[in-house]
Chains A and B, each alone.
Chain A
Amino acid sequence: MESLINSLVTQVKSGNWEAFEGLVEIYKDKIYRLCYRMVGDRHEAEDLAQEAFVRAFVNIDKYSGSYKFSTWLYRIATNLCIDRLRKKKPDYSMDAEIPGTEGATLYSQVADADPLPEEEVEEKEKHDHLQQEIMKLPEKYRTAILLKYIEDMSLEEISSVMDLPVPTVKTRIHRGREALKKAYKKVAKSR
């Protein structure tokens, strides 16, 4: 697989732009899924995922091959998503960290008002609720958590995607996990 990817990258670099189609086919689901989990909207996710591939194509000469192509692609996609989230953010965001706290948001100050539809299939509801909780995480924890548990990346890979040292990545995953646990407990109790 790696050698196929490398050969496609080499072909694109040498001017055969049609070879890029193979790379899009291989990574489209992963990149789209990451974007969807990051922004929580299918339409926007499609837009971002397409933009990520276009950027990768334009900047393919900058990809040196010193790390995996997928790492580079994930980095482009996460940066695009984070940019989009920041632009979308209103001035007073529920997602903003409360000054002086580490990772606490205004959500932790509000009682969970969403009544859960009783007729829904329980499993699906759990998944959707989890997505909602992931969406509430500050973006820096969200990225780390998604790469770790949805994309199944190693800490080293996440560290190169996010351009952060491994211990920082660890901390973010840890904090994100704790925040999810708190939110999840609330759901379990409200059942």
Chain B
Amino acid sequence: MSCESEEYMDLIDKALDGEITAEEQTELERHMESCESCKEHYHALKEIIYEMKEASPVVAPAHFTENVMKKLPEVKKRSMPAQWIRRYPVLTAAAVFLILMFGSVMAGWNTENDFAVHSAASNIKVNSAAHTVTVPKGETVKGDLVVENGDIKVEGKVEGNVVVIKGEKYMASAGQITGDSQEIHEAVEWVWYKLKTFFTGQEQK
């Protein structure tokens, strides 16, 4: 009494999946009137599906939502940095850049102890042994003057800015600086100065 027809097996599957058309349904029913094995197969499967759908309802235990919500703040904290980076990639990149920049400039503050003078003018007296720079009396230095790890004595006139890094500035009574003058003693000031010259391109070599 077994029905080997692939066609009807397909129709039964379609019927169970809810994909059967009205004509196919009629055809299947007509066939099952005469075919016991297809009828048995179809009804057995239908009963299983019915049983599954009727299976005793299962609901989440008490305090389920509460317990989930309790877990969330911890999770949020744990995943914060990663989420932040994902959400603000540009800001993160900028922050990383500033930290690296700050670090390398700071390293410069600690290691660069060489005496150096940056100036376009030739009429200044440089004493490398004593780490001093002198703007002689009566002379006029045009342009900016930067002294690193040394002192400066201004007896003449400077038409520009004067910056002294890790050093002192001595002004003679006749000395004159037309631009800004600045002494840098602290690492933080140094970093600020370096960043400023980096971004405005004012540092003279």
A residues at B contact (CB < 8 Å) = 17-18, 20-21, 24-25, 28-29, 31-33, 36-37, 42, 46, 49-50, 53-54, 57-58, 61, 124, 126-127, 130-131, 134, 145, 149-150, 152, 155, 170, 173-174, 177, 180-181, 184-185
| Contact A42:B61 (CB < 8 A) given known A61-B86, A127-B55, A150-B52 | yes
Report yes or no: B61 in contact with A130, Cβ–Cβ below 8 A.
Answer: no
B205 on the A face (CB < 8 A): no
What is the CB-to-nearest-CB distance from A28 to chain B, in angstroms, rounded to a whole number? 4
Q: Are B75 and A24 in contact (CB under 8 A)?
A: no
Does the CB pair B60–A29 fall under 8 Å?
yes
A145 to B54, CA, bound (A): 14
In the complex, the answer to whether B17 meets A181 with C-beta atoms within 8 Å is no
Given A17-B72, A20-B69: A32 in contact with B58 (beta carbons within 8 A): yes
In the complex, residue of chain A having the shortest beta-carbon distance to the beta carbon of B67? A50
A130 touches which of B45, B55, B57, B68 (Cβ 8 Å): B55
Check A37–B58 contact: CB distance below 8 A. yes
Q: Is the interface of B mostly helix, strand, loop or mixed?
A: helix
Q: Are A58 and B56 in contact (CB under 8 A)?
A: no
State the CA gap A36–B59 with chains docked (Å).
10
> Inside 8 A of B71's CB, which chain A residues have their CB?
50, 54
Establish whether residues B59 and A29, one from each chain, have CB atoms under 8 Å apart when the complex forms.
Answer: yes
Whether the Cβ atoms of A177 and B75 lie closer than 8 Å is no
Asked if B56 contacts A24 (CB within 8 A), the reply is: no
What are 30 A-B pairs at a CB distance below 8 A?
A18-B69, A21-B65, A21-B69, A24-B65, A25-B65, A28-B60, A29-B58, A29-B60, A32-B58, A33-B59, A36-B58, A46-B64, A50-B64, A50-B67, A54-B68, A54-B71, A57-B75, A58-B75, A127-B51, A127-B54, A127-B55, A130-B48, A130-B52, A149-B53, A170-B13, A173-B17, A177-B49, A180-B48, A181-B44, A185-B44
**By the criterion CB–CB under 8 Å, are B59 and A177 in contact?**
no
